[in-house]
Amino acid sequence: MAALNFPNSPSTNDLHTENGVTFKWNGTIWKKVGPAYTDTTNLNVTGIGTFAGAVNIAGVLTYEDVKNVDSVGIITARSGISVTGGSLDINQKIKHIGDLDTFLEFSTDEISFETGGSERMKVFNTGVSLSTTLSPATNNTYDLGSSSYRWANLYINDLQLSNEGSSNSVDGTWGDWTLQEGEEDIFMLNNRSGKKYKMNLTEVS
């Protein structure tokens, strides 16, 4: 059967006959006068096409020269979404279907990473904040910084030092130490022997 071409801007109760089939515009959609209409070939709509029920497409739905697609409900993409140009604009969150309390959340100049319903990391315009422990994937493998790109300052409380699993280059042993700060002194605690030491400091100014 040949394609159907409906006129633009119809008035209520207008009739349109094509290929021996008559349709009436009810103010919202074109409805066939008589039994339901089935076209297994083409449907060309030059005006407004309104479907009261579901539309099933077995092949590919191609949009040509379409600037916007507006949906008041949920759009489901079963095989992913490919954006080949422009940007993907998100109002607030990207959620994981199988774990609804794990998501990325966007706000003004901020991106939050949340798991288990709690914020773990936030990236904002002046830095990054963590609300969890930051650990390497494996022990004694990765560096923090490099010989070419060093951190400017390190702000920490007590310093925990251990080379367990390897050895030093002086006597071949390994150690486990904690550096702690006192009001006037710096202390070193040997966590293997339990001994405590005070560092000898010389005042220069």
Q: What is the pLDDT of residues 62-98, one digit of tens each?
A: 776 666 777 777 888 888 888 888 888 888 899 888 8
Lowest model confidence (mean pLDDT) among 8-17, 28-37, 161-170 = 28-37
SS3 119: strand
Greatest distance between any 2 Cα atoms in the chain: 106
SS3 187: strand
Work out the average pLDDT over 115-124: 93
Work out the average pLDDT over 189-197: 98
For the cut 70, the answer to whether the pLDDT of residue 3 exceeds it is no
Maximum average pLDDT range among 48-52, 83-87, 103-107? 103-107
Q: Could you tell me the CA-to-CA distances from 38 to 41, 106, 109 in Å, in that order?
A: 9, 46, 52
The 10 Å CB-count burial string (b at 16+, else e) for 157-176 is: eeeeeeeeeeeeeeeeeeee
Q: Could you tell me the CA-to-CA distances from 107 to 36, 84, 169 in Å, in that order?
A: 50, 25, 50
In the 8-state DSSP scheme, what is residue 32? Answer: E
Alpha carbon distance 91, 97 (integer Å): 17
- What pLDDT does residue 38 have? 58
Maximum average pLDDT range among 4-8, 52-56, 60-64? 4-8
pTM tops 0.75, yes or no: no
The 10 Å CB-count burial string (b at 16+, else e) for 123-155 is: eeeeeeeeeeeeeeeeeeeeeeeeeeeeeeeee
The angle at the Cα of 142, spanning 140 to 146, to the nearest 5 degrees, equals 125
Chain-centre distance for alpha carbon 51: 34
Alpha carbon distance 118, 103 (integer Å): 10
- What pLDDT does residue 153 have? 95
Alpha-helix residue ranges (DSSP H) falling in the chain? none
CA neighbor of 74 nearest in space, from 101, 97, 48: 97
